[in-house]
Chains A and B, each alone.
Chain A
Amino acid sequence: MFAPEFSYHRASSIAEAGRLLAEHPGAKVLAGGHSLIPILKLRLAAPAVVIDIGRIPEMKGIAAGNGTVTIGALTTHAELASSEIVRANARALAEAAAQIGDPAVRNRGTIGGNVAHADPASDLPQALVALGATFRLTSPEGARSVAAEDFFEGLMTTSLREDELLTSIELPAAGPGRGSAYAKLAHPASRYAVIGAAASVTVAGGKCTAASVVLGGLTSRPTRAPSVEASLVGQTPSEAVIAAAAKNAAGDLGDDLMGDIYASEEYRKAVAHVWVRRALAAAAARCAG
C-alpha cells in the first residue's frame, strides 16, 4: 500500500491546471483522492505526474439561478448531501451522496472526481443521469458541455479527454410537481452500490407526466429503464402502478450485467425492481400537486 514515486504539481486555477495537463501527457488529476490514491497505493497505476486541483477556488461551491443549479466539481459528497439547494432541487443526488462510503470518505471525495472515475458501483452517476445533468468540460482549446447520459461510456470510461478537466455540473432546477429519490442496496463492506436506483418523476393533475429511471451498480454504466418510465407516464402513480412499472426494470438491463462474490448477476437482476420501486415511491411522494 505504498504508491510508486510521482512528481506532484498543484494548480491554483483552471487555466493553470489546463496548462499542466497539456505539459504532462498521461498525468493524473487529484481532487479528493478517494479514487486515485487507492489506485496508486495498489500500484494499479503509476503516473509520472499527479496534478492536484483540490484548491482551485472557481471549481467549488453550489449556486442556483436561471432555472439551473450549478455544482462545482470540487464539491464534496458531504456538501452535496447537506446542501439546501441540492436537497430542494435534486433530492436523488443528495440522497445518493449521503450513502457513499462513510463520513471520512464523504468529507474528502468530490462529485467531479467521482464521475470522472466512473466506477460502475458508484452512486452519483445514475442520480445525475436521472436528473438530466450536464457536465462542463474545459481544456486549453475551450469548453464544452456533455449530457450526463452521454458522458458515461462504459466501465470506468467517459468522454472526458486527457487534456480536459471536468469543472462543473449543471442540473435543471426543480419544476412544479417534480420529485426525485435514490434507493440502494449497499455492499456491506465497501458500501458501493450493488444496486442503485435513481428516479425522477413529474406529476400533474394526479397523473405522471414524465419519469426518468436510471440504474447503476449492476451494469457497467448508468442504465436507463425506458420500459419502467413508459409504463408510468400517463398513469396515476399509485403503489400498485409503481410496483408493476418497477417490475419491468429487469428487462431494461440487457446483458450488460455485473456480478461478484457478494451478489451474482442473476440475483441483482431478479431483485433490482425492489429498489426501483422504492426510489419511485419516494420520488412520487415528493411530487407536490
Chain B
Amino acid sequence: MSTAMFGSGIRRREDPRLITGAASYTDDLTLPGMLHAAMLRSPHAHARIGAIDASRAKSARGVVAVYTSADTEGALQPSPCAWLLPDSDLKIAEYPCLAKDTVRYVGEIVAVVVAESRYQAYDALELIDVDYDPLPAAIDLEQAGGPDAPRLHAEIEGNQAFHWTVSGGDVDAAFANADVIVKERILQQRLIPTAMETRSAVASYTRASGELTLWNTTQNPHIVRFLCSLVTGVPEDRLRVVAPEVGGGFGSKIAVYPADFVTVFCAMKLGSPVKWTETRSENYQATTHGRNHVQDVELAATNDGRITGIRATVRAGMGAYLSTAAPGIPTILHGLMLSGVYDIPAIHEEVYGLYTNETPVEAYRGAGRPEATFMLERLVDVLADKLDMDPAEVRRKNFIPKFDDGHDVATGLTYDSGDYEQALDKLLRHADYAGLRAEQEEARQQGRYPGIGLSTYVEICGLGPSQVAGAIGFQGGLWESAIVRFHPSGKVHVFIGASPHGQGEETTFAQIVAAELGVSPEDVKVVHGDTDNTPMGWGTYGSRTTAVGGAALALTARKIREKCKVIAAHLLEAAVEDMEYEDGNFFVKGSPDNGKTIQDIALMANVSWNMPEGVESGLEASTFYDPPNFVFPYGAHLALVEVDAETGQVELKRYIALDDCGPQINPTIVAGQVHGGVVQGIGQALWEEAVYDEDGQLLSGSMLDYALPRADKLPEIEVLSTVTPSPHHPLGVKGIGEAGTIASTAAVYNAVMDALKPLNAPAVDMPFTPERVWRAIQKGKGN
C-alpha cells in the first residue's frame, strides 16, 4: 500500500453495517433491569404552571416513578449555554431541565414518567394532570423585541438575548458616496434538522462506585461528559459518555439537552438503567431548529458594479432558551463572513438575538454561514439586475484576487488561500453559461421561464484556534487529538477525540494513516465516540473533524514514522541521517531492497528485544493539534430551474457544484458530502419551513407537513472541484461537510428569481411553494 491511498475514492467502510441494519444506535441498547422514560411536554407555548397531580400516573400499571421540577431541585443544575458571546450584553435565561413555574415553548419538559415498558410510560403521561394558565406568546420575530411583545423571562427586557456588532471600514462613508444602493429584506425561515435517528439516551449508574455511563446520540461525547458533570454533579472521572452509531446530527446533536440530564437523574435516583428515546413528533418539537433570521441588508456600489460597502441588521430567533452553542451561530459564524469572496472595504452588521416562545435554535448544517452567503449572493444579484449587468460579471469584478498565504478582510478574519475567479470560470465553462443564457432567451420567447442562479461562497471551518475560541467566548478548546497505536502484528489502532456520525472518517482517517505510513487502510481501525477509550476532543461540527482531527492524526503518524526511522537505522546499523522512507519501507539510501518494513519495526518495537539506546518500547504516539488559523473552503455553484407560470411550480433542472476543499483524501466521500449538503440547502429554498401559528403551536410538526427533499425531485448533482491547499494545514485539507448547504440555497433562490424576471414578480419568501410563486406572478401582472 502506498501514498496513493491519499486521494483514492475507496468505498466507505462504514456503509456495509449501516445499509444492512447491523449498526447499533443508542436506542438499540438494552441493559438488564432497564426502565423506560417518557417526557410530559408542554402543550402550550407560554403558560404558568399551577398544580401538577401525578397521583393517577404513579399508581398506573408498570410505572416506577414520576418526577417534576420539585424532585430535581438541587440535583440538576440548569441546562447550560456554553458560548458566552463577549461584548454583546448577553443575557442567559435559566433553562431548567424540568420546567419550574412557567413553560416557554411547546415541547418543554414538565414531568418525566419512568416505567417498566415504553408503552406504559406513554400511557401514564396521559394520567398526569397539569393546571396551565396560558399566557400570550411572542412568536413573530419582527415584534418579539418590541415594547408590546409578551416577555418570556421576567428579568430580560425586550426579549433581547444579545446585541452583537461587527464593523470594519467606514460604512457610513461608503453609503454616503455610493452610486447605487440596493436593499432587501430576507427571511431565513426556521428549519428542522431532521436527523434520521431521533435523540436518545441510556443512563446507567452504579451506586457502589458512583460511576455513571451515558450512551447518547451526540456529535461531541467529550463535551457532553464535561457539561453533564457540571449539571448532574457526577465527577468527570466517574462519568463515561458513549456515542454509539449516531444517525446524523446536522448540528442538532451538538447541544446538550434537558432530556438527557433528566434521564441521568432518573437512573441515579432509581439505581436502574433508564432509556429515553424521543419520537419523531418530539424531535420536531424539542430538538433544536436552525436558521430563523429576519435580515435587513443593503449594499453600496459604484455604477460599474464595484461593491463598496455592506450594512445589515439581523434579528435572529433564539427560541425560548439559549441552546448550548446558540449565541455564536448568528454572530461569529455569520457576521464575520460578510465579506464573502469579495473585496468589500466597509462592513457593518448588528445582530439582535431574540427570545421567542419557540423551540431553541442551534447550529444547523452551515450554521450562520448559509445565512451570510445568502445575504451577499442575493444582494449581488439584485445589484446586477439594477445595473443591468450579468451576475457573473459583477461577481468577477468584486472577487478577492488569487492568494495563497493569507488575505485580510474587513471583518477581521484572515482567509488562508483562494482563487475564486478560477472556480467561477471553471463552473461557467462546464455549464456552458453563455449557451444557457441563449437557451433561456429562446425559451422566454416561447413563453417558458427558465432561470439561472449563481452562488459563489467562502466559508470558515476547521474551528479553530483555541485562543480564538477563548476570545470569542466559546467555553471550550477547539483543538483535536489522535493516538496511533501499532500492534505487534502490524495492525494499527487510531483513537480520536472527534466523533464522526456519518462523515466517513473511519475510512478517510485510515487513508491518512495509510498514506503517511504505507500500511493498508484495511489494517487501520479508527476508534471514536467513547470518552473512556479515546483522548479528549471537542467533537464533530463546523466541518472541523478532518481539518483539525485529520491534522492531529497526520502529525501523529509522522511521529511514528520518525521513531520507526530511528529503530530502522539501529537495526540496519546505519546512521539515522542516512535513512530513507518510501511507502512503509525504511532503508539506507541507495538500498531500498534491504530495508525494514514498518511492520518489521512495529514487531521489534513491541517485543523490544533490540531497541536503540534511549528509545522507548512500544510504537505509539499522540498529538493534540491546535490549528494556527481556520480554514476557508470556497466554491461556485450554479442552479438551473424552470418555473411553471400557470401554477407557480418550480422544477430544479440542473445543479452544478464546484467546491474547493483543498486536496481530497477521498473524492467519493467528498462527492457524497457535497450531494447531501447541496440537497439540504435546496430544501431550504424549495420545501422546508417550520411553521408556528400565533399561539406558538408548531403546525409543521410531522413529516406529513414538513417537506424534506426527495430524490425524485432532484436532478443528478454535477460535482466539480479545484484544489487550493491550505497553507497552514499539514495535509493542506480544508472542510467539505457544510459547503454544499452554504452555497446551494442562494443558487436556487437566485435561479428562481431570475426565472421570474420577465414576469415582473416581486421577491418571494422561502420556501418557493407553488402558491408563493404564483402569488408573486399575480402581483407582477398587477393582480
Contact = CB atoms under 8 A, between A and B. Distances in A.
Contacts of B700: 261
Interface in A249-282: 261-264, 267, 270-271, 274
A286 interface: no
B122 A274 contact: no
Interface in B686-741: 687, 691, 699-700, 703-708, 710, 713
Contact of A274 (B646, B707, B710, B769): B646
Contact of A188 (B647, B699, B710): B710
A188 B709 CA distance: 8
Contact of A189 (B122, B704, B770): B704
Contacts of B126: 43
B30 interface: no
Contacts of B706: 189
B281 interface: yes
Contacts of B172: none
A274 B646 CA distance: 8
Interface in B278-298: 279-281
Size range of the interface on A?
Answer: 20 to 34
A177 B703 CA distance: 42
Contact of A262 (B122, B123, B648, B769): B769
Which secondary structure characterizes the binding site on chain B? loop
A81 to B, nearest CB: 15
B403 interface: no
Contact of A271 (B280, B705, B710, B774): B774
A185 interface: yes
Interface stretch (A1-9, A10-18, A48-56): A1-9
A188 B646 CA distance: 18
Interface in B260-313: 279-281
Nearest to A38: B704
A2 B770 CA distance: 35
A267 B770 contact: yes
Given A263-B771, A267-B774, A189 B705 contact: yes
A268 B123 CA distance: 40
Contacts of B41: none
Contacts of A4: 123
A262 B769 CA distance: 7
B704 A270 contact: no
A274 B710 CA distance: 24
Nearest to B691: A261
A5 B123 CA distance: 8
Q: Which of A1, A43, A192, A264 has the most CB of B within 10 A?
A: A1
A4 B120 CA distance: 9
Interface in B755-783: 769-771, 774-775
A187 interface: yes
Q: Which of A2, A188, A274 has the most CB of B within 10 A?
A: A188
Contacts of B774: 267, 270-271
A39 to B, nearest CB: 12
A230 to B, nearest CB: 24
B748 to A, nearest CB: 14
Contacts of B647: 185, 271, 274
Nearest 5 pairs of A and B residues by beta carbon: A188-B707, A189-B707, A2-B122, A1-B279, A267-B771
16 contacts: A1-B281, A2-B119, A2-B122, A3-B119, A187-B707, A189-B687, A192-B704, A261-B691, A261-B700, A263-B770, A264-B771, A267-B770, A267-B775, A271-B646, A274-B646, A274-B647
